[in-house]
Amino acid sequence: MTPIRIAIVGVGKIARDQHVPSIAASADFDLVATASRHGSVDGVPSYPDIEALLEKVEHFDAVALCMPPGPRHAAALTALRAGKHVLLEKPPGATLSELDDLVALAAGQRVSLFATWHSRFAAGVAQAKQWLASRNIRSVRVDWKEDVRKWHPGQAWIWEPGGFGVFDPGINALSIVTEILPMPIHLTAATLQFPENRTQPIAAELTFADAAGERATATFDWRQTGPQTWDIRASTDDGDLLLQSGGARLTIDGKMVVDGRDEEYAGIYRRFAGLIAARESDVDPRPLRHVADAFMVGRHAFVEPFED
């Protein structure tokens, strides 16, 4: 089978760390070009923007959009109008409404649109979903705490409007929660902590409920040094489940069930190849909707200034 010819638009940290090696390791894809104002990949033709890419590279099939969420919508429209399959890095856009016309355009063009949530492809997530499906869930607790200086060094855009702040990693937790829970939940309360010198939050406390009442809480914090925490706990009538390391490790009632490696982006590209083969799209807005709700109903608190 001929590999899918793909281009990366936006060659930053996530593209270099995850997309480039995952494409290189995949038999389904061949990286033929990049488009970026500041980055490139050795040995791969590079262009300043998606318009130049489309003008100069005649034969390719798909694009992976890895730039910040603000400009991603315009790039996605351009790619879809050109008949390209489109992979959106998470979050899929700066707003929920941006997704509507992308979904409609992809359907009209008969190409695939994939809004990726890489944490859903962590090793323990699928089995956690299966285990919870038939159980009565009493409570869910999320602790997602990391060091922004380690994971987003010098990325000023992440503190600007549309950059999401602590919800950039926090949305990964929400993508797992919305995947593994058998019932829908909605946000009921939130407190967002904003550094005095930033326009996006550095920490957040969230409370969620379902039809039966309050069911889940989450703490997101970007100020944690030392060991990093990416944990989701679920208490059920039949025992307790714990996802750690961002979903890579699954423990049930203290017994290790899954202890996997980081192969999330390999899973993303397998899924994208399957979508392209079937001419289907996969766009789940639920994690982004929870973030939007937090900004809508959350109480804003101000904390000390933050400097990189």
From first to last of its 308 residues, the chain has per-residue pLDDT tens of 799 999 999 999 999 999 999 999 999 999 999 999 989 999 999 999 999 999 999 899 999 999 999 999 999 999 999 999 999 999 999 999 999 999 999 999 999 999 999 999 999 999 999 999 999 999 999 999 999 999 998 889 999 998 999 999 999 999 999 999 999 999 999 999 999 999 999 999 999 999 888 789 999 999 999 999 999 999 999 999 999 999 999 999 999 999 998 899 999 999 999 999 999 999 999 999 999 999 999 999 999 999 98
For residue 50, the SS3 value is helix
Stretch (H or E) spanning 216: strand 213-221
Among left, alpha and beta (phi > 0; psi -120 to 50; other), residue 91 is: beta
In this prediction, residue 166 carries a pLDDT of 98
90 given a catalytic annotation:
yes
Q: Please, what is the angle between helix 167-180 and helix 286-297, to 10°?
A: 120
DSSP H stretches of helix in the chain: 13-14, 20-25, 50-56, 69-81, 98-109, 125-132, 148-151, 167-180, 264-278, 286-297
Question: Domains of the chain by range and CATH?
Answer: 4-115 (3.40.50.720), 123-259+292-303 (3.30.360.10)
**pTM higher than 0.85:** yes
User: Distance between CA 123 and CA 42 in Å, rounded?
Assistant: 31
Q: Which two tokens stand for residue 119?
A: 């944490």
In this prediction, residue 95 carries a pLDDT of 94
Residue 265: half-sphere exposure toward Cβ, Cα within 13 Å: 20
Given the DSSP bridges, would you call strands 29-35 and 4-9 parallel, antiparallel or unpaired? parallel
The DSSP secondary-structure symbol of 308 reads -
End-to-end Cα separation, the chain, in angstroms: 47
Q: Are 194 and 166 in contact (CB under 8 A)?
A: no
Residue 69's CB is within 10 A of a number of other CB atoms, namely 23
> Could you say which of 13, 84, 90, 255 is catalytic?
90
Question: Cα–Cα–Cα angle for 249, 253, 256, nearest 5°?
Answer: 35
